Amino acid sequence: MNHYPASLKQLIDNLARLPGIGRKSAERLALHILKASHREADLLASSIVEVKKRVRLCRRCFALAEEDYCPVCTNMNRDHSRICVVEKPADMAAIEMSGGYNGSYHILQGALSPMDGIGPDDLRIAELLKRVDVDGPSEVILATGTNVEGEATAAFISEKLHHQPVRVTRIASGVPMGGDLKYVDQVTLKRAMETRHDTRYLDK
């Protein structure tokens, strides 16, 4: 790759830093961008700048938004008495795609993982507890992953909500152990939402 001009090498280096993109893919993408029209290349560059400039986290649920509040939080046709707790924006997108849910969300921005040094304070758990306290929802649905981190996060939140007059449920059946919500097919995810169960078993 040493025979490439410096600017092209720079682009390959930057693309190779993206997750899931190896040197070979980065080289192919860079050469594709080089061949593309100026207009196409400008569109790609400006959309990267725009997304960084515009997208922020919803002040209530921490979903991705371009305003202070996300479209779900401002939609009066949604059932705001239910809060579905997920780890990442992609999980919320997967549940939205399944079409089986009309409530609101709370995006934790990760899961508890002591091995990686991720504790409760690194997630939006305090904000969730406050939201439950202030808004008094009827149900909190724990839709974190079914891997170790997701289960630990669900158990932690369930325990924290133990004394709140709110029904706490956990999606379960159909979602494979160790499953990442975004990889679960839509029918399975819809069924998992519909057959959620109360989480008393999580409380010691």
Query: Binding residues for Zn ion, per CB under 5 A?
Result: 58, 60-61, 63, 70, 73
Radius of gyration from C-alpha coordinates of the chain? 21
How near is the Cβ of 183 to Zn ion at its closest, in Å?
A: 24
How near is the Cβ of 102 to Zn ion at its closest, in Å?
A: 14
> Which runs of consecutive H residues, i.e. helices, occur in 55-174?
89-98, 125-135, 148-160
How near is the Cβ of 181 to Zn ion at its closest, in Å?
A: 18
Please, which residues have CB within 8 angstroms of residue 181's CB and are 6 or more apart in sequence? Answer: 86, 87, 90, 91, 94, 95, 143, 145, 175, 189
Q: Which is nearer to Zn ion, 104 or 158 (CB)?
A: 104
Catalogue the long-range contacts made by 3-9 (C-beta closer than 8 Å, 24 or more residues apart). Answer: 8/34
Q: Which is nearer to Zn ion, 27 or 91 (CB)?
A: 91
State the amino acid at position 92 in one-letter form. M
How near is the Cβ of 75 to Zn ion at its closest, in Å?
A: 9
Q: How many residues does the chain have?
A: 204
Q: Which is nearer to Zn ion, 11 or 124 (CB)?
A: 124
Q: Which is nearer to Zn ion, 87 or 151 (CB)?
A: 87
